[in-house]
A and B are shown apart, each in its own frame.
Chain A
Amino acid sequence: MVAPPDPPMSLLLELTHRCPLQCPYCSNPLKLERAADELSTADWLSVLDQAAALGVLQVHFSGGEPMARADLPDLVRHAAKLGLYTNLITSAVLLNERTLGALAESGLDHVQISFQGSDAAGADRIGNYAGGHAKKLAAAALVRASGLALTLNFVVHRHNIARVPDMIAMGEAFGAGRIEIANVQYYGWGLLNRAALLPTRAALDECTDTVLSARARLRGRMLIDYVVPDYYAAEPKGCMGGWARRFINISPAGRALPCHAAETLPGFDWPDVRTHSLADIWYASEPFVRYRGTGWMPEPCRSCDRREQDWGGCRCQAFALTGDASRTDPACHLSPDHAMMAEAAQAASAPAPPFAYRRIGQRGV
């Protein structure tokens, strides 16, 4: 008999897939939702009510660009009233004194601004949005002045990994409480652009040294969260803290998912929040139960001492690389498919191909 799962901790709302930027590693699916298919304000308010009752503690407003939704301050206000910790994950190119003021007044707790690099030319090339970097710098200064907690998120790849020291310096200069040095995760758009983005192992090792020494230097002042690419790992990450163990993601059209990449997996009937309660989705829906815990695991996971630390790694990566979502994540050195990671990493030493930028309708899927 399997014990019932704990209540979910976090809820990520992808309010929209609309975004002014076109980053080639976007975590949204290749098949982007159109504005006409987005949930209504009333739908989102109901999701927030149900989430709080279910035991969710933190809600992340994300996208696309969540500030493209005019009702964002209303949603934040509702979440804050319910006692939820409210986090805005934004590109910040739509953030100005007025829009930030409305969010702060609504009770927003924390703002995370994504940066595509530390220099305007390189960053704007990644976002394919001229002037974006300058807007982000202005936005970060506004957030800092507002007194809201600020995180700077830097997505790292072969074109900017040598500039990680500058990124850390930017975090310090803004007085950010926290920065993320997050290597691209290779799903969806990132996987499509892997040969253009994956750094070499030598470049990653240098980045790791930089981060570890900065962490020691900045201890107690600025947190540095660091994410490495799975391609150079010996053990898989405990993706999402385990399938449907802590986290719920809601797509713009209202599909509930155990992670933001799960729609890449075939053969699932994802529950719709307009027709299913969040409690039913969490405790009883087939997609949430399918890979929860350890009962589904094949060998070598099933008998592994780490099975309740990494939970078999990432289902989306297992599917993307092997075609079978129920296999051990190839990132694990014990996986029979592990050699694929080293083979893929060879592309990092070849000249980088051009980007396939993230655009709605771009992939025709």
Chain B
Amino acid sequence: MSDSRIPSFRRGVKFRFDAVRDAWIVLAPERLFVPDEHAAEVLKLVDGARTLSGIADDLCARFDAPRDVVLTDVAAMLDDLAERGVVAW
């Protein structure tokens, strides 16, 4: 299974660590999301260059999870964030 789509943050979206809350935060126009730890690990790999498959490979190597499950989960998560205006394909 492979997926060559490349996610990137949309115009005006920032992803940064907040020391006050000790958490990663997605900042967007009139929007603010606090991703859970899994989502934050995915978003750290969104750089406008890596493909979805590349992101899944990286996560599998580090977290010892079945690759097809990771790929499906990551695609679903990023699709949801695309609908919410955070990432674009």
Contacts and interface: CB of A to CB of B under 8 A. Distances in A.
A109 B11 CA distance: 9
Given A149-B11, A220-B83, A223-B85, A57 B25 contact: yes
Q: Which of B10, B11, B82 is the most central at the interface, judged by chain A CB atoms within 10 Å of its CB?
A: B11
B87 to A, nearest CB: 9
Interface stretch (B26-34, B36-44, B49-57, B60-68): B26-34
Interface residues of B, number: 19
Interface residues of A, number: 25
Interface string B1-32: 00000000011111010101100010101101
B11 to A, nearest CB: 5
Nearest to B85: A223
A55 B21 contact: yes
A176 B30 CA distance: 14
A347 interface: no
A57 B32 contact: yes
A141 to B, nearest CB: 16
Contacts of B20: 7, 53-55
Contacts of A220: 82-83, 88
Given A177-B10, A178-B30, A180-B30, 9 more contacts: A54-B20, A55-B20, A57-B32, A85-B14, A112-B29, A147-B11, A149-B10, A149-B29, A177-B12
Interface of B: 10-14, 16, 18, 20-21, 25, 27, 29-30, 32, 82-85, 88
User: 8 tightest CB-CB pairs across the interface, nearest first?
Assistant: A149-B12, A55-B20, A85-B27, A223-B85, A110-B29, A149-B11, A110-B12, A220-B82
Interface of A: 7, 9-10, 53-55, 57-58, 83, 85, 87, 109-110, 112, 147-149, 151, 177-178, 180, 219-220, 223, 225
